[in-house]
Chain A
Amino acid sequence: MTTDSNEQELLRRLVEHDRNAVESIYRNYYPVIQRLVVSNNGTSDDARDIFQEALIVLYDKARSGSFELQARLKTYLYAVSRKLWLKKLQRDRNFAADLNGAGETVSVEEDVERFEQRNKDFDLMEEALQKLGEPCRGLLESCYAQKRSMTDIARDFGYTNADNAKNQKYKCLMRLKKIFFGYYKKI
């Protein structure tokens, strides 16, 4: 298999949340990113956060199907991490210098911006879910994120039958919508 099809395969598996794919990407590319961040006033914790965010950018990109390998995976991750770290430095330390290491190689501006927008959505939803509290949060997460069957959920949460659990789910969903759109309007 050529390198290109290898990388495409990795991306396909990343979209399916394949643990091995994530692990393989991590093992191959994390050291480079860590070096980039650490040699530019960052800690290894910063490197971890940046790499995590870059992986999510990659995931979003791969998931939307628009990732045609104009660049190698490594180049792409590097460019995204670099952009993210620069932004963070500017935000936190008012520090507008350029980074050591290779310069910008591929343009990732749009992807990073889209990521930041989605991050906001994510935080909003997180906040709404926190406010919603348990057991509503668990119920909705089992249902919509883990996509488990109502019968399983009913058993785990201790409802007498699936119909009751379902009713409860819709009640929770309605509350969540109210909280969520409440936040949305404030912004």
Chain B
Amino acid sequence: MEELNMLESVERYIRGEMLPEEKAFFDELRKNNQDLDQLVVEHTEFLHQLERHGERSNLKNTIREIHDELIGSGQIKQPRQAKVVRLWVRYRKVVAVAASIAGITALAISGVTSYFSPKTTRSIDYLSRKISILEQKQNSLNDKINRTPPKVEEPAFKLGGTGFMIDSRGYLMTNAHVVENATNVIVQNNRGQEFKTRIIYLDASSDLAVLKINDSAYKSAAPIPYGISKGSIDLGEAIFTLGYPRDEIVYGEGYLSAKTGFRGDTLACQISVAANPGNSGGPVLDKNGDVIGILSNRQAEAQGAVFAIRSKYILRALDEVRQDSAYTSLKLPQNSTVKNLDRVQQIKRIEEYIYMVKSY
């Protein structure tokens, strides 16, 4: 505690926020106390470094954004057609070496095989006999298979979707239509672990549902890396999605194509991204890793028209959940902490918070 106070005083001193007599007293202290003097010097330098770090990462961000914007709007162009030529120029030596090695190896192998291979004239007979024996065996096996009663199959889940964590203590957000009418909802993370859940909120009109993992095997995860965007969205903004259209987590990339959803639905927005059954309930994230919506459905008769419920309504639904006294402590993820990372790193951090939702 004392150390904290000391640090605070030093900082006020450095920033010149002290009253004149306070400063005089502190100056006196500094003169007499070498450790304090050292602390002031060290802390000044450290704060300087920290501020410079902040400035530089802000600048880097700005530059990167501008680069993307200028490329996006076509004001600067990237050379493309020359790529193959460039690759060829850079790698031609490697290619030449690789090609000659491959050639020599091929010659050597064909030489060796022709030298060692046995004469093959009489083996045809044998082979045909062997095949007829195999055929007999297979027929008898087939008979056996047909005679055995069919095994009882495991009940398969009726509906599958995706959900994403909104509180690392085990709260997940998904679509209402994914879990509607389910008697049992199981979620599975990207490592294949399964957890039982309970539906604690379901609103068919906004198509949102909140699940709570109700399983002693579940341990609270680290804080969630993405935030939920409170801001507005812009046409053409790059977005990406993560979801479970199959047993494996699948990444998709696209852009925001309209500010409203199906037939002018203001609850939703339209995005252009490959989506399949199973993607429902997955998060739609912007380039900073903030959730801007939840993927909900696609238009059956149109290609590539996918709709997402906007994050505003996610926040509203969560406000409603919190009105229930049992869930007042539900805490939303704050700002994205993967903002400055590249996409691969972002996904690495985010994917463990995306779950497959299976309703039975």
Which of B62-70, B97-105, B193-201 is the interface stretch? B62-70
Once the chains bind, are A56 and B59 in contact (CB under 8 Å)?
Answer: yes
B11–chain A nearest beta-carbon distance, Å: 8
A164–chain B nearest beta-carbon distance, Å: 12
Residue of B7, B63, B331 with most chain A CB atoms under a 10 A cut-off: B63
Once the chains bind, are B60 and A180 in contact (CB under 8 Å)?
Answer: no
- Residues from chain A with Cβ under 8 Å of B188 in the complex: none
Which of A30-38, A66-74, A78-86, A106-114 is the interface stretch? A30-38
Once the chains bind, are B56 and A41 in contact (CB under 8 Å)?
Answer: no
User: Does B150 make an interface contact (CB < 8 A)?
Assistant: no
B68–chain A nearest beta-carbon distance, Å: 10
Once the chains bind, are A144 and B47 in contact (CB under 8 Å)?
Answer: yes
- Residues from chain A with Cβ under 8 Å of B183 in the complex: none
Once the chains bind, are A22 and B334 in contact (CB under 8 Å)?
Answer: no
User: Does B192 make an interface contact (CB < 8 A)?
Assistant: no
Once the chains bind, are A145 and B334 in contact (CB under 8 Å)?
Answer: no
B224–chain A nearest beta-carbon distance, Å: 9
Which of B75-83, B133-141, B210-218, B282-290 is the interface stretch? B75-83
Q: How would residues 124 to 160 of chain A score, 1 for a CB under 8 Å from any chain B CB and 0 otherwise?
A: 0110010000110110110011100000000011100
- Residues from chain A with Cβ under 8 Å of B51 in the complex: 144-145
Once the chains bind, are A26 and B223 in contact (CB under 8 Å)?
Answer: no
- Residues from chain A with Cβ under 8 Å of B337 in the complex: 134, 137-138
Of the candidates A44, A55, A166, A176, the one whose C-beta lies within 8 Å of that of B63 is A55
Once the chains bind, are B54 and A145 in contact (CB under 8 Å)?
Answer: yes
Tally the A-B contacts, defined by beta carbons under 8 Å. Answer: 105
Identify the closest chain B residue to A55 (Cβ).
B63
Given the contacts A23-B70, A173-B7, A125 and B50 also touching, CB distance less than 8 Å: yes
The residues in A between 160 and 180 inclusive whose CB is less than 8 angstroms from any CB of B are 166-167, 170-171, 173-174, 176-177, 180
Tell me, in angstroms, the Cα distance from A145 to B76 when the chains sit together. Answer: 31
Tell me, in angstroms, the Cα distance from A130 to B222 when the chains sit together. Answer: 14
Of the candidates B4, B49, B82, B331, the one whose C-beta lies within 8 Å of that of A38 is B82
Identify the closest chain A residue to B47 (Cβ).
A144
Identify the closest chain B residue to A121 (Cβ).
B49
Once the chains bind, are A122 and B70 in contact (CB under 8 Å)?
Answer: no
Given the contacts A126-B53, A138-B334, A144-B51, A19 and B82 also touching, CB distance less than 8 Å: no
Tell me, in angstroms, the Cα distance from A44 to B77 when the chains sit together. Answer: 10
Once the chains bind, are A146 and B63 in contact (CB under 8 Å)?
Answer: no
Once the chains bind, are B53 and A138 in contact (CB under 8 Å)?
Answer: no
Of the candidates A55, A135, A158, the one whose C-beta lies within 8 Å of that of B223 is A135
Once the chains bind, are A145 and B62 in contact (CB under 8 Å)?
Answer: no
- Residues from chain A with Cβ under 8 Å of B331 in the complex: 158
Once the chains bind, are A22 and B63 in contact (CB under 8 Å)?
Answer: yes
Once the chains bind, are B335 and A144 in contact (CB under 8 Å)?
Answer: no
Once the chains bind, are A177 and B46 in contact (CB under 8 Å)?
Answer: yes
User: Does B86 make an interface contact (CB < 8 A)?
Assistant: yes
Q: How would residues 73 to 97 of chain B score, 1 for a CB under 8 Å from any chain A CB and 0 otherwise?
A: 0011111001100100110000000
User: Does B320 make an interface contact (CB < 8 A)?
Assistant: no
Identify the closest chain A residue to B340 (Cβ).
A126
Query: Interface residues, chain A, CB within 8 Å of chain B?
Result: 17, 19, 22-23, 26-27, 30-31, 34, 38, 41, 43-44, 48, 52, 55-56, 59, 118, 121-122, 125-126, 129, 134-135, 137-138, 140-141, 144-146, 156-158, 166-167, 170-171, 173-174, 176-177, 180
Query: Interface residues, chain B, CB within 8 Å of chain A?
Result: 3-4, 7-8, 46-47, 49-60, 62-64, 66-67, 69-70, 75-79, 82-83, 86, 89-90, 223, 331, 334-335, 337
Apart from A23-B69, A34-B76, A125-B49, what are 6 other A-B pairs with CB-CB below 8 Å? A17-B62, A30-B67, A134-B337, A137-B337, A167-B4, A176-B50
A sample of 27 cross-chain residue pairs with beta-carbon separation below 8 angstroms, ordered by A number, consists of A17-B55, A17-B62, A22-B62, A23-B69, A26-B63, A26-B67, A26-B70, A31-B76, A31-B77, A44-B78, A52-B60, A56-B56, A118-B52, A121-B53, A122-B53, A125-B53, A134-B337, A140-B50, A144-B50, A144-B54, A156-B334, A158-B334, A167-B4, A170-B4, A170-B8, A171-B4, A180-B49
